[in-house]
Amino acid sequence: MNQDGRPTFTYLGHATVRCDLPDGRVILIDPFVSDNPSCPEALKTFERIDAMLITHPHPDHFADAVGLARKHRPEKVVATFEVCAYLESKGVENCSGMNVGGSQEVLGARVTQVPAIHTSGILDGDRMIYGGVPTGYVVRMPDGYTFYHAGDTALFSDMQLIAELHRPALAFLPIGDHFTMDPKQAARACRFLEIQQVVPIHWGTWPILTGRPQQLEEELASLGVSCRVVTLEPGQSY
Ligand code: NI
Ligand code: MN
């Protein structure tokens, strides 16, 4: 825990982030650990999970959602209406389905679901089930500290509205390319978002995700954007 009452973020690799709140409660964003090649073995299990935020149900964000939610029974499992309906059909309790533009209280924080430009389908065996739209989340802590987890997304200019409406200090942004933004787009996202810190995610997990934090730093410098790149190795906390 930080002395200033802000959450401690632990990067579990790929797009999975564990947020330890000052009071000891835990929010897990995009539960993908068992088959996550980046996740350190010791961090694949949890003492507690009090809330879960799911950006979209692709396996690399969702594979452990049912298992971890049934085991830890979080107070709230947050996802789109469609994803929550699927989770409930698999026996997950306390689902709180929402939709983009809306907000709700989660463990005392204000969570707003925001758009992402990507796709969203639920792979169930060999079937693809409709999974609503992909999303990101803006989380405002009780002390006002605000962060944004973009999920999987391309660059979109309405990130400027996220800045105007929510003033996030920090964002978790994908930089890996192929399925999401590359570093060049992510640097422009940092400019649109007017953030002070960016944590690159969705890179290096597999060889196809070629974007690197160093490239993001170079792109930011060439744009003259003063945003600090906080590069976390899987297992590292911030
Ligand atoms: Ni995806
Ligand atoms: Mn992904």
- Please write the tens of the pLDDT for every residue from 55-89: 999 999 999 999 999 999 999 999 999 999 999 99
CB 53 within 8 A of CB 106: yes
| Domain assignment of residue 2, yes or no | no
Question: How many domains in the chain?
Answer: 1
Q: Which of 196, 214, 179, 190 is nearest to 14 (CA)?
A: 179
Predicted pLDDT at 4:
67
CA 5–ligand 2 middle distance (angstroms): 30
Ligand 1 centroid distance, CA of 30 (Å): 10
Identify the CATH number of the domain in which residue 183 sits.
Answer: 3.60.15.10
From the list 210, 223, 142, 222, the residue with the least C-alpha distance to 178 is: 210
Integer angstrom CA distances of residue 96 from 51, 124, 152, 181, 204: 10, 21, 21, 29, 32
pLDDT, tens digit (0-9, with 9 covering 90-100), for 195-208: 999 999 999 999 99
**Would you say residue 54 lies in a domain?**
yes
Helices (H), the chain: 59-62, 65-72, 81-89, 159-166, 183-193, 213-223
Structural domain of residue 47, as residue ranges?
8-229
**Predicted local confidence at residue 1, as pLDDT:** 44
Could you tell me if residue 15 is inside a domain?
yes
**pLDDT tens track for 103-161:** 999 999 999 999 999 999 999 989 999 999 999 999 999 999 999 999 999 999 999 99
Query: What does the buried/exposed string (b/e) look like for 143-164 if buried means 16 or more CB atoms within 10 Å of the residue's CB?
Result: eebbbbbbbbbebbeebeebbe
- Ligand 1 (single-atom ion) residues, CB below 5 Å: 58, 152
With tokens 């809306």, the residue in question is 102
Residue 219 domain-assigned (yes or no): yes
- Predicted confidence at residue 62, as pLDDT, reads 98
Is the sign of the CA dihedral 140, 143, 144, 149 positive or negative? Answer: negative
Distance 137 CA to ligand 1 centre (A): 15
Q: Flag whether 111 is in a domain.
A: yes
The Å distance, Cα 191 to ligand 2 centre, comes to 23
Residue 199 lies in a domain: yes
Residue 238: inside a domain:
no
What's the whole-number mean pLDDT along residues 183-193?
98
pLDDT digits (tens, 9 = 90+) for 20-56: 999 999 999 999 999 999 999 999 999 999 999 999 9
Q: Is 237 part of a structural domain of the chain?
A: no
User: Measured in angstroms, how far is the CA atom of residue 179 from the centroid of ligand 1?
Assistant: 7
User: What phi and psi values does residue 90 have, to the nearest 5 degrees?
Assistant: -100, 10
- Is residue 92's pLDDT more than 90? yes
